Structure 1
């Protein structure tokens, strides 16, 4: 892949990571504000169990990791860092993804008092965007959901760790509050995904196939169907549906591809449930993201081979057309005597 030199004015070249689309920036801004407010409310009213200083440590870690990798990436790719050129506003917009990822990882894992494990998870989650990338329309884009990957690595590498207990989202609420909170998340998340991220087809695929796999597990594997479906009513499930699986940076944009992605996550989750694998949702998300990443790389190599073949064929045609024409031998009806007969 050819990397172009950065042009004056701070604009990234065609080969470098682009700035986000205005709609995506708006979505990221709203999401960053929402998750920040949710954490403040969580620590004050809902019953979040991580130490109150941890979100601040997570944010600082995520910011530092993002800035360091962007500086390195810009130097390697010969362009200006994306956090420059836009003033304070540009810097803030650049840090929205790291802000969201950092808070989400800290909010969704529980590692007791071992803050270094949380820092490791946040660092890995943000760094994943620079390590696991695939070509999309000529540019390298990350394909692994950062928050999900950071959480998954904690579960794999530190078996004593776990996800945050679901009750800590509603522990401090009464019966009415337990209904209001999910309703607010559903309404705000639906508006966000319908108007800005455009991931409603993905949500539809995820929810419909999730319900289908719950029923299939009940019919074929003696699973309690009501219990399998009741998972969809939890706050953690609603948060995942509206704010994690719909990550615009690691999901397709076409409707049919969105549906396949969301449905694929639900289907793989069902397989893990049948196999009695804990935390199947995080494994399912990572596997589907990995499959999409490998597909993008495969498509890139196929298109590259096709372009090379077409270029070679065009070169052959051009070479043939450049050859001088062969002079024709005049036909005199046999009147010219052969030199040997002279």
Structure 2
């Protein structure tokens, strides 16, 4: 097991990114319910937020006691509490916005609890400390879809249901611009986005060539609001994606290829399943690296100890006592 260490304080860049993301998704929800045509009940965002806040705070208290440390939302006043709850705020609103469970509010709350709780359970060692590797919102949505087959993702049309076509394109443009600025300047996940988009387009063309999929339709998905939101704000989650360019390329391409596989075998909700699968593979890879490193360190320690023993000088032999002449 990796040593359980305290979570390092978030950098100013991370806090800024979380703040902007939280503000963006809040504004988008307000506009969605008042203008665009979101179809979930008006009370659901508030219930989702209350559930996410309560779960995050409760698990933090439990985790702090188990690890013998202070809770992270104290010490900086109300500002510290708000900054601590940014991830829960984003998770709660995103999960409610992207799922549709009709009037079964407990199912939505279940998904929020799973999403927030996964950060405390599904962890892997990264640079000496445990970090969650499963995208919280995506994981909560995936579990809802798997456990409750009657539930579904939010219908993509509800993002532009009550506005004209040009407004829909304007929304897409705004999301692309704001998301690009956020990911280029703060999260630094442009390599991931580029690999994801290029590989997604390639798999759509290959599916059309090999499996007779309608290529215009497969590529047309990339123009939708839901896809643009997913590209800029879901698959690029900085907490559960790699930071090195080469690793970002592998991650983004992997999600696109996994999506293509799910489409070929006729499995619905491929975006969410693909993201969860690649996050799981990355988590297992991180654990593999951890155990490999531990085994190497143990072997090197044994070799060093063996070399020390070999290098020790041998004790001098005592001269034999000869016979005394009579």
**Which range, TM-score by smaller chain?**
over 0.9
Match of 2:38 in 1: 48
Out of 68, 74, 94, the position equivalent to 1:104 is 94
With over 3 angstroms needed to count, the CA separation of the structure-2 counterparts of 1:179 and 1:312, relative to structure 1, is: same
Match of 2:265 in 1: 275
- Does the alignment pair 1:339 with 2:323? yes
Give the superposition deviation at 1:320.
4.0
Out of 297, 308, 312, the position equivalent to 2:298 is 308
Give the superposition deviation at 1:79.
1.4
With over 3 angstroms needed to count, the CA separation of the structure-2 counterparts of 1:168 and 1:312, relative to structure 1, is: same
Match of 1:21 in 2: 11
Give the secondary-structure state (helix, strand or coil) at the position aligned to 2:7: coil
TM normalised by structure 1 equals 0.92
Unaligned stretches of 5+ in structure 1? Answer: 4-14, 331-335
Match of 2:122 in 1: 132
How many residues matched? 325
Match of 2:28 in 1: 38
Out of 271, 291, 295, the position equivalent to 2:281 is 291
CA distance in 1, matches of 2:76, 2:306: 49
Give the secondary-structure state (helix, strand or coil) at the position aligned to 1:135: strand
Checking the alignment, whether the CA contact within 8 Å between 2:48 and 2:92 is kept in structure 1 is yes
Give the secondary-structure state (helix, strand or coil) at the position aligned to 1:155: helix
Give the superposition deviation at 1:18.
1.8
CA distance in 2, matches of 1:2, 1:171: 50
Out of 124, 134, 138, the position equivalent to 1:144 is 134
CA distance in 1, matches of 2:3, 2:23: 37
TM normalised by structure 2 equals 0.96
CA distance in 1, matches of 2:199, 2:300: 41
CA distance in 2, matches of 1:266, 1:130: 27
Match of 1:327 in 2: 316
With over 3 angstroms needed to count, the CA separation of the structure-2 counterparts of 1:118 and 1:338, relative to structure 1, is: same
Match of 1:233 in 2: 223
Give the superposition deviation at 1:230.
0.3
Give the superposition deviation at 1:2.
4.2
- Does the alignment pair 1:118 with 2:102? no
Match of 1:62 in 2: 52
Give the superposition deviation at 1:340.
8.8
CA distance in 2, matches of 1:137, 1:307: 15
Give the secondary-structure state (helix, strand or coil) at the position aligned to 2:124: strand
CA distance in 2, matches of 1:117, 1:25: 30
CA distance in 2, matches of 1:341, 1:193: 97
With over 3 angstroms needed to count, the CA separation of the structure-2 counterparts of 1:325 and 1:78, relative to structure 1, is: same
Match of 1:189 in 2: 179
- Does the alignment pair 1:155 with 2:148? no
Unaligned stretches of 5+ in structure 2? Answer: none
Alignment RMSD, CA only?
Answer: 1.7
Give the superposition deviation at 1:310.
1.4
Give the superposition deviation at 1:88.
1.1
CA distance in 2, matches of 1:2, 1:149: 25
Q: Which has the larger radius of gyration?
A: 1
Give the superposition deviation at 1:316.
2.6
With over 3 angstroms needed to count, the CA separation of the structure-2 counterparts of 1:324 and 1:126, relative to structure 1, is: same
With over 3 angstroms needed to count, the CA separation of the structure-2 counterparts of 1:301 and 1:182, relative to structure 1, is: same
Give the secondary-structure state (helix, strand or coil) at the position aligned to 1:31: helix
